[in-house]
Structure 1
C-alpha cells in the first residue's frame, strides 16, 4: 500500500500541512523540519505524485468567408487555388460562399450569412458592385466588422486589396514599345468596371507619353472569349486593304486575348509576325496556345495573403481602416506571342506578305 502524508505525520509528529510544505521545499519551513520529514518519507518509501503540466488550449483558427458570384472558368479556379494556398501560409480557414446575383442578392445574403454563421471576417469579390452597394453592406453588419474587398471600387469605402491594374496596363505598353512596335491597339474590358478602366488608362498614358507611339485601334469587350473573336473579326476587315490597323494588341484579360489569337491563327494570320498580342492575368491556359501567350501576371496567392493579413490587422486593431486601398504588384511574363522578333525583321516580313498579296 502506498504511504500517505498521514503516516509521515504520525511518525514525525508534524501536522499534515507542515509535511506537505516540507516535501515541496517551502522556504517557510525550517531546514531541520524539512530534513526530518524527508528522512521519514524516504524510510516509508513515499514518492510524491508527479504534477502534470496543464495542457494549453489549442488556439482557435480564424475562419473567413470568401464571397463572390463564382462562375465556371479558369479565373475563378485560379482565385480559389490562390486563397487555398494563402490560407495554409497564414494558418486560417477559408470558406467559399457563392452569390448568384451580385447586385440584387449580395446585401441580403451577407446579412443572412452573418446572422447564421460565426465567421471572423468577410472577403468580397463583387466586381459589378458600386460604392452605394458597399455602404448598404456596411449598414447590415456590426460596426467595425472585418471586411475586405478584392474588387476595385471608385472612391472605396471598405478596405480594398486588389492588383495594380494601372501598372499592368503601363507594363503592357512599355513591353510592346521595347519590342519595336509603334502602332498599338487595345481590347478594353467592361467600361463599368474600375479595374478595366485602370488597365486601359495605364496602357493609354504610356502611349501618350512616348513620342512615336500611336493608339491606332481600339474596341470594347466583355472579358469573355467571344469578345476576342468579335474583336478580331472587326480588326481583320482592315486587312482587305493589306494593312492591319495595329501592329500589336493588348487585350485587358486573357480570355479576350485567347479569342483574338485563335481567330487570327484560323485566318492564317501569323503571330507575332503579322500581329503581336498579350493578355492580362497569366492564367494556365496561356501556356496551351500556339504560340504561348505573353501576359500580365497576377499573383493570386499574394492577393490572398494580403487580404488575410488585412483582416487579421482589423481583428488586432492594427493599421486597418475602412476605405484603405492596398495594391498587389503585377509583372509581365514574356512569351512567344510578343517575343522573338526584331523591328527590322517585322518590316521585312510585312513587305513580303504585301508582295505576295
Structure 2
C-alpha cells in the first residue's frame, strides 16, 4: 500500500495542497470546519500528523489516538485483552491501535517517542516483565508532555498504573477452597519475573496462613503455558500425598492440567478440584467447565482511558498512583 500524501488529503477535502499543508503544520488561520475536516481525513487515510502540536494550535472536536503497547502472542488471552479495550474505546471518541514492542529492534523509549510523532496522543503499556528501572528509563527518554500509563502491576509503580487486584484473586480462590472444605491444597505458580504472578501467589498463601487447618502441601512452578499445566499434572499424579484442590495461576495452565488429567483418568473435581485465573471464554466451553478468577478488561480500559484524559488535560508527570480494579470468582464444575 502506497503512503498517503498531502495530495490525497487535498483531493478528499476539496482544499488546496498548500492549505492542507499549513493546517497540518499548525500555521493556518482557516475555518475550524476546514481544520477538523483536514485532520479527520488525515487520520482516516493514516497520514502521519503531530496531534500534540495541532492540539495546541486549534480548537476542534478531535478523536483521541491511543496506542496500546504490548508483547503480543497469538492466543485467546490477548484477543480477550484487546477486545475489552476496543469495546471501551467505542463511543468514547478514541481511536485505539495495537502496537507490538520488540526489544531487539529498539528501546521502549525510542519506540514510544516515534509513536508520539506519528498521530498518537497517548499510550497504554501492558508489558508485565518490566521493572522499576525500565519505566524510569522510558520517562527519561520520551517527550515530557506525552502521556503514558501502565496496566501491568508493579510492587512499587513508577508510572501511574491501573491493574486488576491480583492479590485478591489468589485470596478468593483460597477462600473458595476453604468453604468447599478442601483443606490440603496446592498451587501452580506463574513466572517469577511477572509481578502479577507473585501477587496471585501471595494472596492465595496469605488466606491459607490465616486459617488453622488449611495446608499448602504442593507447589509447582509453571510458566503460564498449556504445556507447563500438563507437566504439573504429571507431577501431581506421582505424589503420594496429593492436594485436594489446586490453584492454577492462569487459565492456560489450568487447561493443560485438565487435559492431562483426562488422559490419566484423574477425576476432576472428584479426585482434585482446580481453579484458573483470567476467566477466558474457553473456560465455559470445556468439560468440566473451569472455575476461574474473572477479570473484566472493558472496565479496566474505561478506567485507564479516564486517567489518560485527566493527565492530557492536566500534567503528564507521574506519581506512581495505583488504581486497582476488583476481580471476582466465576464458580463452575471443576471445583
Range class of TM-score, shorter chain: 0.7 to 0.9
- Distance of 1:184 and 1:119 partners within structure 2: 48
The structure with the largest alpha-carbon Rg is 1
Alpha-carbon offset, residue 192 of structure 1: 1.4
Asked if structure 2 preserves the Cα contact closer than 8 Å seen for 1:67 and 1:97, the reply is: yes
* DSSP 3-state at the match of 1:90: coil
Aligned length: 280
Asked if structure 2 preserves the Cα contact closer than 8 Å seen for 1:107 and 1:133, the reply is: no
Structure 1 residues 102 and 131 mapped into 2: Cα distance closer, same or farther (>3 Å)?
Answer: farther
What is the match of residue 348 of structure 1?
none
- Distance of 1:222 and 1:230 partners within structure 2: 11
Answer yes or no: is 1:285 the counterpart of 2:282.
Answer: yes
After superposing the two structures, state which structure 1 stretch, 101-110 or 323-332, moved more: 101-110
Asked if structure 2 preserves the Cα contact closer than 8 Å seen for 1:219 and 1:231, the reply is: yes
What is the match of residue 86 of structure 1?
88
What is the match of residue 123 of structure 1?
124
What is the match of residue 223 of structure 2?
222
Structure 1 residues 111 and 298 mapped into 2: Cα distance closer, same or farther (>3 Å)?
Answer: same
Structure 2: gaps spanning 5 or more residues: 1-31, 37-59
State the TM-score, normalizing by the size of structure 1.
0.75
Alignment of 1:131-142 (within 5 A): 131-142=132-143
Alpha-carbon offset, residue 297 of structure 1: 0.3
Asked if structure 1 preserves the Cα contact closer than 8 Å seen for 2:158 and 2:318, the reply is: no
Alignment of 1:95-114 (within 5 A): 95-101=97-103, 105-114=107-116
Structure 1 residues 306 and 181 mapped into 2: Cα distance closer, same or farther (>3 Å)?
Answer: same
What is the match of residue 153 of structure 1?
154
Alpha-carbon offset, residue 199 of structure 1: 0.2
Alpha-carbon offset, residue 99 of structure 1: 1.3
Asked if structure 2 preserves the Cα contact closer than 8 Å seen for 1:127 and 1:193, the reply is: yes
What is the match of residue 175 of structure 1?
176
Asked if structure 1 preserves the Cα contact closer than 8 Å seen for 2:116 and 2:122, the reply is: no
Q: How well do the aligned residues superpose, as a CA RMSD in angstroms?
A: 2.0
Structure 1 residues 55 and 63 mapped into 2: Cα distance closer, same or farther (>3 Å)?
Answer: closer
What is the match of residue 265 of structure 1?
262
Structure 1 residues 89 and 198 mapped into 2: Cα distance closer, same or farther (>3 Å)?
Answer: farther
* DSSP 3-state at the match of 1:223: coil
State the TM-score, normalizing by the size of structure 2.
0.80
What is the match of residue 73 of structure 1?
75
* DSSP 3-state at the match of 1:180: coil
* DSSP 3-state at the match of 1:128: coil
Structure 1: gaps spanning 5 or more residues: 1-53, 339-357
Alpha-carbon offset, residue 281 of structure 1: 0.1
After superposition, the C-alpha distances for 1:157-204 in whole angstroms (9 at most, x for unaligned) are 101111000000001000111111100100000111111000000000
Structure 1 residues 104 and 120 mapped into 2: Cα distance closer, same or farther (>3 Å)?
Answer: closer
Asked if structure 2 preserves the Cα contact closer than 8 Å seen for 1:90 and 1:305, the reply is: no
